[in-house]
Every structure is written in structure tokens, then in C-alpha cells.
Structure 1
Amino acid sequence: MTAASAAIDLRQQMPVAARMIADYDDFIAAVRARADEMNLSRNEIDNQTGLTSGYV
């Protein structure tokens, strides 16, 4: 098995963890959805990233 075929095989086994982002609104929706999936409040994201409170 070549490295290229091994990479293709690995990709076929992995679940899709991405979504199509076509514009800024899609980006914001994706970030918010992921935060909700991780059960993170916006304030917690601010704290973990070092942003000013209320920024996210």
C-alpha cells in the first residue's frame, strides 16, 4: 500500500467533521454551533481565548 492510498483509506474511515462555509454569516453560524455542541458559553470562550469579556 502506498502512502497516498493509505491516506485515502484513512479519509474514507473518518467521519465528516467539517461544514461548508461560503461567507461570514456561515462562519459565525459554524462557530456558534460548535460552541453549543461543546456546551461552552460565550463568556467561557472569551475566558479561554483571552478576549475581552462579551467579545464573543
Structure 2
Amino acid sequence: MGNYLNPGNSGFEAIRRGPYVDKTGLISLINRTIGTKQNLTCISRPRRFGKSFAY
């Protein structure tokens, strides 16, 4: 029998209470710059950002 990986959604609820940054505008920026002379885009993030969730 397999292991159930999400026995409760308390972690998910904790994440939902935190701030959310919508970065979908980056998709249109990247699409506009593809195929141009300015086709290099740097999208930085803090070290280890999004790698794990800890309390």
C-alpha cells in the first residue's frame, strides 16, 4: 500500500494566509523580448526561494 503524502492541508492553509506575488506579467515581458536584440531577461529570486516550506 502506498503512502499518503498529504494527510492534512494545514501546510496549504498556512501558505494561503501568506503574501502572494503575481508574476504573470513576466510572461508577456519575455514574449515581447523573444526574437529581439534585447532577448536576455534576468528574473532573479532570493536564494532558496520556493525550494521548501518551513514553519
Q: TM-score, normalised by structure 1?
A: 0.28
TM-score, normalization by structure 2: 0.29
Higher helix content, 1 or 2: 1
Structure having the higher Rg: 2
